[in-house]
């Protein structure tokens, strides 16, 4: 009778906690990968203006106050020229500038803009007046966009590789307008990859971001935010592919729900400083190529949680609907990518618990 009661009690406990199994990296190191250089955003990175970047000259790490655009661009900061140069020199290997006629080289100048005609290689989204104006930031002139309709906008498409990471730097000054914006998107005039928010620099301000391309063509758009009069200045656009993707480390001491700009492929969730379990809830349904990385930094559970009926899949094995993958072993690292039907686990270093 005692034995029966013990077995019954064990059965009840198992039912209460749910069954789980473990995924492990393949033998022979097949689950390992080389991870790129990283930039650590301050704790609770969506609500801080601090980023850490290596100084290319001294080799030290600088903590830099940046201007974040409404928490939108996940890698967006506006800081001094030396810091951006340090990031590019120490972490990035930029390729050629993909923006045509954006006066980014410093050796050429804007061409083709006059009246309602946009600069060469750009097309009009919303009508405006376009003027090549003296006293540019890095060379002789800059592009001035003025009002002739609400929010005058121009755009340019450029070739990209889906999943590859790109870096953009540029200068802006609001002139006589209220503000301006710069967008990156998957369609003409769209801002689904980057939205600078309202740029209000009274004098030339440097802005920078990184993004992950989602297709073979990406679009950049320049917007003068005005409904009546006013001009804004744009200059020195440099957009290059990063051959060594820049990781953005996001320490989390509490559970959060992941948002789109954290699922671009080079965002790393850690549980640095956590005193208990940290759960990162992924959005329901996913979007193809949504991807994020996880690394256990404290001896507490770091968990990725699927929403609704979504599942995790590792090779041919799937977990439960609305299930989790997690580990509390420091150094365990894995990536998740939405493949159209499930969150695929890959690049696993260590072992993960998952529920069946």
Same domain, 74 and 119: yes
- How far, in Å, CA of 213 to CA of 242, rounded? 11
Tokens of 90: 């120490």
Same domain, 253 and 296: yes
Which residues 6+ apart lie within 8 Å of 18 measured at CB?
355, 356
C-alpha angle 232-238-243 in degrees, rounded to nearest 5:
150
Q: What is the pLDDT of residues 202-250, one digit of tens each?
A: 998 888 888 888 888 999 999 999 888 899 999 989 888 774 445 566 7
Same domain, 129 and 257: no
User: How many alpha carbons fall within 13 Å on the CB side of residue 240?
Assistant: 19
pLDDT tens track, the chain, 356 positions: 544 444 444 444 334 444 567 776 554 333 333 333 344 433 222 223 334 443 333 333 333 333 333 233 333 333 333 333 333 333 334 467 889 888 765 445 789 999 999 999 999 999 999 999 887 776 678 999 999 889 999 999 999 887 777 888 888 999 999 999 999 999 999 999 999 899 999 998 888 888 888 888 999 999 999 888 899 999 989 888 774 445 566 778 899 998 876 787 767 888 888 999 999 999 987 676 688 889 998 999 999 999 999 999 988 788 999 999 999 999 899 989 888 889 989 888 889 999 87
Same domain, 225 and 184: yes
Same domain, 211 and 262: no
Report CA-CA distances (Å) from 151 to 69, 113, 171, 223, 228: 19, 17, 19, 6, 9
Closest CA to 237 of 207, 210, 214, 212: 207
CATH number for the domain harbouring residue 302: 2.60.120
* pLDDT score at 169: 85
Full residue range of the structural domain in which residue 226 is found = 65-241
| Residue 42: inside a domain | no
Is this prediction's pTM over 0.75?
Answer: no
- How far, in Å, CA of 97 to CA of 104, rounded? 8
SS3 85: helix
Same domain, 211 and 311: no
Report CA-CA distances (Å) from 217 to 76, 160, 185, 265: 21, 5, 9, 18
Same domain, 175 and 276: no
| Residue 163: inside a domain | yes
- Please state the domain count of the chain: 2
Same domain, 231 and 118: yes
Same domain, 224 and 82: yes
| Residue 4: inside a domain | no
Q: What is the pLDDT of residues 242-267, one digit of tens each?
A: 744 455 667 788 999 988 767 877 67
């Amino acid at each position: 009778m005692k034995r029966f009661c013990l077995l019954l009690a064990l059965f009840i406990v198992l039912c209460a906690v749910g069954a789980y199994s473990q995924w492990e990296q393949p033998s022979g190191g097949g689950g390992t990968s080389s991870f790129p250089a990283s930039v650590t955003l301050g704790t609770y990175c969506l609500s801080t203006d601090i980023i850490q970047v290596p100084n290319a000259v001294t080799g030290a790490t600088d903590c830099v106050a940046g201007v974040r655009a409404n928490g939108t661009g996940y890698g967006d900061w506006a800081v001094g020229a030396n810091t951006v140069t340090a990031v590019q020199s120490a972490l990035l290997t930029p390729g050629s500038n993909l923006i045509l006629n954006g006066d980014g080289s410093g050796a050429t100048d804007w061409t083709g803009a006059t009246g309602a005609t946009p600069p060469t290689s750009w097309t009009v989204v919303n009508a405006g007046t376009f003027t090549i104006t003296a006293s540019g930031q890095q060379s002789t002139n800059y592009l001035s966009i003025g009002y002739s309709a609400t929010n005058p906008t121009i755009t340019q498409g450029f070739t990209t590789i889906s999943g590859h990471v790109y870096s953009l730097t540029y200068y802006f000054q609001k002139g006589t307008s209220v503000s301006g914006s710069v967008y990156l998107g998957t369609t003409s005039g769209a801002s689904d990859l980057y939205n600078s928010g309202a740029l209000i620099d009274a004098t030339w301000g440097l802005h920078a971001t990184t993004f992950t391309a989602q297709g073979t063509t990406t679009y950049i758009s320049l917007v003068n935010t005005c409904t009546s009069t006013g001009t804004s200045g744009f200059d020195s656009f440099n957009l290059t592919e990063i051959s060594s993707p820049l990781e953005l480390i996001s320490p989390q001491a509490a559970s959060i729900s992941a948002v789109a700009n954290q699922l671009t492929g080079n965002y790393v969730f850690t549980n640095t400083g956590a005193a208990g379990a940290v759960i990162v809830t992924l959005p329901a349904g996913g979007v193809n190529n949504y991807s994020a990385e996880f690394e256990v930094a404290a001896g507490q559970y770091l968990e990725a949680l699927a929403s609704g009926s979504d599942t995790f899949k590792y090779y041919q094995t799937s977990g439960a609907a609305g299930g989790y993958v997690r580990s509390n072993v420091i150094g365990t690292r894995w990536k998740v990518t939405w493949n159209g039907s499930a969150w695929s686990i890959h690049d696993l270093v260590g072992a993960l618990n998952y529920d069946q």
